[in-house]
Chains A and B, each alone.
Chain A
């Protein structure tokens, strides 16, 4: 579509029509009446495969850590390949060093020993539990979708992912795209006729093929408007040349375009380090390097706009404290999560530290969970996104504002 004015795009955008299960009420609502600048944004990043939290945020002083980890341990700060000291107790993996200045500036908080109260060590169950926000008894819809429903959202949540993540499944508006670049159709004299024919074939259908078809046309229009191939990151930000790097760049562009985005999601895999995990260098270090460079570039690119943005990382569980038989680690329990942004009360490691002595370990082998992930997610919903009805987003969970961690500034 040949529109170049933001207001016209927003008014006509089929994005305004995107909804899984379109209702007439939805269609009649006016979209984008006011500027979206200043709107709070949440970016959720799922580290699929269970990241080793003990390697991301290293308890380097802990004698048990040093004793149990063998070839996968990270040395104390100061040593070669040592952790990046945060507070004399914890340090970042050396590959996360690009995040240290954000931590020092007070915009990055770390939450340790965080996770699910459910004991499952199945990736797929645990991912479902975290994405539905209902550990032990998954429901069909995801927590991010319930937020969209609870707030009557009229702009879709956007997942930069190959398929719709469970977090966004449900009746609220959400779409999934691999990249913004992949939505731009080649210019062709027949392009307008092809678009109109496809829209007509999919309109009026309420099944998943019909609604996804309508969303696809909307996404195509939006991508044409955004022209992602010519996007220039600000502040000299250098995104990794990987799928994850590109997706972080796409999310930054969507936020800066002020088209109404409130929730974004993406994911990064490769954390299931059963074998040859490595320490300061190696497989895990390589993944953490890509991860941290992506986050740091996003932070740099958004600049002042970061004031309204909160970025939350999560993973289904952590990994065994002890190294396994093949230079790796097996499925564990508690892990570490990162919270980054302008509303974050950062420069601190949050969460009660359960310790790594044998009697302190969960089921005798794993880092215990002292912070239910819903306590952290709930605080972000309440204080960052400003929705006090946390119970609607995490049904069955009693969220108590008084016992929140204080990760988000009030």
Chain B
């Protein structure tokens, strides 16, 4: 397909021009600051252990393991131990359907447990897993391929969506991820493709027709983006190509992807000037291949979104272009693409360090990690994420949750973040164990107490205003726990 339009070429030129004009003003980061920055962006914040590990073995060794976490998986015993209290997380779909029926009347067998336990698993992994980057990317791809978990069959499908679709492909190949999403119950239901059929097909006594919802968002949000310039005609053709991609009937005792030939619109369809005419499901796979590997997907969608996530809310153009090149020429290799970002000079450019705001999940996980804490029970912490406006798997629009400061922060949400930090540090969120005393050496008072907590929790330079305010609060006789809550609300900890 020809997705390289005139607009694309203009953008490329612009990217090169503006990129070359950018330069950094402030002093370069120290090695310790680089380690902390790497853990702030490629992980859910520094822990004492991870900082010391990297100091000993180096950032390249850490990154290699993060990009291929098979070697570290055996050490994730804490995760396994904590997940043992959540019975739904490893069940198969038939087991979920039998064990947690829709007509269940007790909390023990309620299907509501399934998304709640998935959220607990995500939080536990974000805090405790050594495969940190995979969890960061699980969060990234889940929001990229957002589904809403609390409607219809998705209360069940959310579990395999995370377990079998998003997490295993989070550091894999983009096309394989795209196909797995397209064939997931979660996405088929959420964007209605399960109910799209060739016009005139009869389903359950009703005459069907196409539903454009998935076809449109597949291009707009998942792959080539609106900048690519497709038309309404293209949307309808995509929807027709994907007719018959649906969900197994409820009476089968399973919920899964099926290709239903009688619902499929056979024949040739044209999308962005290319004809698709292979039989049945192959037509859709051809289309997904072309969308996954299109230059527009690399340049307009994946590269700017990843650079925005890892480097700066407004992605620097030169890096974005290099990342798009890696993504495109590697055939959508997510690991290679991340390496281009995380090994770039821009990643450690002082102009970008500390300019992003943590998302609610990043804030919660990094706070617990900074306080040497443990997620023994997650339910009350999940309530906090609801107050922070990003309850897990409950974003209704298909854009997923934003991760840019202008959207993550608002006056109202910031108050909730501060309050959440107070509760957390004071041990007032049941199930979350923290150890503020463990951060302190000796029995510091006043200024020393403030300084020790700043060093332990924020781990990078703070403004004079922040240090003076915290020292003054420490001198006013706050407990170390109360003071730790204040440190969590410092602008330097809100920032990433």
Contacts and interface: CB of A to CB of B under 8 A. Distances in A.
Contact of B415 (A119, A169, A185, A197): A185
Contact of A122 (B210, B216, B355, B418): B216
B468 A163 contact: no
B402 interface: yes
Nearest to A203: B465
Interface centre among A197, A198, A201, A272, by most chain B C-beta atoms within 10 angstroms, is: A201
B472 interface: yes
Interface in A309-365: 324-328, 330-331, 363
A63 interface: no
B411 A176 contact: yes
B119 interface: no
Given A200-B468, A208-B405, A326-B211, A121 B216 contact: yes
Contacts of A164: 406-407, 410
Interface stretch (B1-9, B25-33, B432-440, B488-496): B488-496
List the 5 shortest-distance A-B pairs measured between CB atoms, nearest first: A325-B209, A177-B412, A326-B195, A200-B469, A176-B410
A122 B225 CA distance: 10
A121 B209 CA distance: 19
Contacts of B409: 163, 208-209, 212
B490 A201 contact: yes
B430 interface: no
Contact of A216 (B209, B412, B470): B412
Interface string B180-212: 000000000001100111010000001011111
A132 to B, nearest CB: 14
B422 A216 contact: no
26 contacts: A49-B397, A119-B232, A120-B226, A122-B226, A123-B397, A124-B221, A161-B410, A162-B412, A163-B402, A163-B406, A163-B408, A163-B409, A163-B413, A176-B411, A178-B416, A190-B478, A197-B472, A198-B489, A201-B465, A201-B469, A204-B465, A216-B418, A274-B213, A275-B195, A328-B192, A330-B211
B434 to A, nearest CB: 18
Contacts of A163: 389, 402, 406-410, 413
For chain B, what secondary structure do more than half of its interface residues adopt (helix, strand, loop), or is it mixed?
helix
A39 to B, nearest CB: 22
A219 B192 CA distance: 40
A290 interface: no
A219 B411 contact: yes
B413 A178 contact: yes
B452 interface: no
A291 to B, nearest CB: 16
Interface of B: 191-192, 195-197, 199, 206, 208-213, 216, 220-221, 226, 232, 235, 355, 357, 387, 389, 396-397, 399, 402, 405-416, 418-419, 422, 463, 465-466, 468-470, 472-473, 476, 478, 482, 485-486, 489-491, 494-495
A116 interface: no
Interface string A270-296: 101011000000000000000000000
Interface string A202-216: 111101111011011
Contacts of B490: 201
A7 B21 CA distance: 52
Interface of A: 48-49, 119-125, 159, 161-164, 169, 175-179, 182-183, 185-186, 190, 193-194, 197-198, 200-205, 207-210, 212-213, 215-216, 218-220, 269-270, 272, 274-275, 324-328, 330-331, 363
Contacts of B226: 120, 122, 125
Given A212-B414, A216-B411, A331-B212, A269 B473 contact: no
Contacts, number: 171
A360 to B, nearest CB: 18
Nearest to A269: B396
Contact of A218 (B355, B411, B472, B494): B411
B209 A324 contact: yes
A194 B422 contact: yes
Interface centre among B199, B210, B413, B416, by most chain A C-beta atoms within 10 angstroms, is: B413
Given A178-B413, A198-B489, A325-B197, A270 B396 contact: yes
For chain A, what secondary structure do more than half of its interface residues adopt (helix, strand, loop), or is it mixed?
loop
A163 B388 CA distance: 10
B213 A330 contact: yes
B377 to A, nearest CB: 22
A275 B397 contact: no
A193 B415 CA distance: 15
A177 B410 contact: yes
Contact of B469 (A123, A197, A272, A327): A197
Contact of B410 (A119, A162, A190): A162
Given A193-B476, A204-B465, A186 B419 contact: yes
A202 B212 CA distance: 47
Contacts of A270: 396
A49 B206 CA distance: 26
Contact of A325 (B208, B406, B422, B494): B208
A274 B211 contact: yes
A300 B4 CA distance: 56
Nearest to A204: B465
B451 to A, nearest CB: 15
Nearest to B387: A182
Contacts of B495: 209
Nearest to B489: A198
Contacts of B195: 275, 325-326
Contacts of A363: 232
A190 B482 contact: yes
A11 B465 CA distance: 26
